Amino acid sequence: MVDLSTRYLGMRLKNPLIASSSPLTEDLDTLRRLEEAGIAAVVLPSLFEEQITRESEMLDYGLSYGEESFAEALRYFPDLQDYNMGPQGYLEHIRRAKAALSVPVIASLNGVTTGGWIRYARWIEEAGADALELNLYYLPTSPEETSQAVEESYLQLVRDVVASVRIPVALKLSPYFSSLPHMAKRFEEAGASALVLFNRFYQPDIDLETLEVIPNLVLSTSHELRERLRWVAILYPQVRLDLAITGGIHTAEDVLKAMMVGAKAVTMASALLRHGPEYVRQLLEDIRRWMEEHEYVSIEQMQGSMCRQRVANPAAYERANYMRVLSSFEWQPSRKPHRQ
């Protein structure tokens, strides 16, 4: 019998499959279905910095507005102890998820600045979360903002969050760093326990009829996995951080490749949205079958076996292989001429 267990964020997981932050992890019944299908851990939907700051400002306004009015008017304003803000609802969702599930529950905070909102990291821990995933989603748009300033703000945020909690903190990153290995080391020094590679940025589209910018969320495919495989293979020998892959995990083969380059876990959303929570069961069966056929006894046996340091041709992960790949592509001209 093969051993699918792995260690991630200091926790022993029964297998490397984690349900990523998505609408699926917002519903308790769906969370139970995921656990029954064999998921090893769940990441709850993100609580956004903007949600916390906006609702805090609304509360401050509501409590101060009209304080000079008639005394009976004050009864219309909320009592602090009873006021149930959206972020407070998130903390309650953590408590309910912990009560309903036996697998680890990972909370998610999405933010980029330091400030009072970080106190929610501590409250998330108090609500029972086993770990925290910090989603660093930021899009610099000003030419006056330097890359160094952006990186320093990330690092300070990580330091502040790590200092406020005792549970492990994972960072969900984009690939857009000038030197990802350097930043990975600095995040490690700042106290992070894991990196989750890579975040998929929301990419707006344009409606040509209404001339409006419209939201457009497209589910991932296995093709997106390649960039993640490259970077985990490069980072694995160089950092002590746990590495997880998110984006492009759809098949058992995708999971196995992620393990071989050095990932400790994979987080999935698109595949589960497309096929449903029960798809986890099929993935696990396919993983076991492949491992038995290829005489692997455990997931840990294969982890890192195909990292950059251990493959016969490390240049395959680097620029040196670029020219050969381009020159090997064979163009097949169409037999039919293009009609104007």
Render the burial of 152-190: b for 16+ CB within 10 Å, e for the rest: ebbbebbbbbbebbebbbbbbbbeeeeebeebbbbbbeb
According to DSSP, residue 75 is labeled: G
Judge contact between 197 and 175, C-beta under 8 A.
Answer: yes
Judge contact between 190 and 155, C-beta under 8 A.
Answer: yes
Residue 281 confidence (pLDDT) above 50: yes
Contacts 24+ apart (CB under 8 A), 239-242: 239/181, 239/184, 239/185, 239/188, 239/195, 240/188, 241/184, 241/187, 241/188, 241/192, 241/193, 241/194, 241/195, 242/7, 242/8, 242/9, 242/170, 242/193, 242/194, 242/195
Reference 194, options 90, 314, 43; nearest CA is 43
- What is the average pLDDT across 293-305? 98
Paired with 266 in beta bridges are: 17, 245
3-state SS class at 43: strand
Q: How confident is the model at residue 323 (pLDDT cuts 50, 70, 90)?
A: low
Where is 60: in which H helix or E strand? helix 49-64
CA distance 93 to 107: 10
Among the listed ranges 26-30, 47-51, 175-179, 332-336, which one has the minimum average pLDDT value? 332-336
Mean pLDDT for all residues in the chain: 86
pTM: 0.85
Phi-psi region of 38 (alpha: psi -120 to 50; beta: other; left: phi over 0): left
Among the listed ranges 77-86, 193-202, 215-224, 287-296, which one has the minimum average pLDDT value? 77-86
Contacts 24+ apart (CB under 8 A), 275-278: 277/19, 277/24, 277/30, 277/33, 277/34, 277/37, 277/39, 278/33, 278/37
Structure tokens at 98: 């912990």
Residue 339 confidence (pLDDT) above 70: no
Q: How confident is the model at residue 230 (pLDDT cuts 50, 70, 90)?
A: very high
User: Given the DSSP bridges, would you call strands 265-268 and 17-19 parallel, antiparallel or unpaired?
Assistant: parallel
The Cα-based distances of 261 to 12, 235, 317 in angstroms read 20, 9, 11
CA distance 271 to 32: 17
3-state SS class at 201: coil
Q: How confident is the model at residue 49 (pLDDT cuts 50, 70, 90)?
A: confident
- What is the average pLDDT across 28-41? 98
Residue with the two structure tokens 């279905």: 33
Among the listed ranges 170-184, 186-200, 320-334, which one has the minimum average pLDDT value? 320-334
All structural domains of the chain? 6-328 (3.20.20.70)
3-state SS class at 46: strand
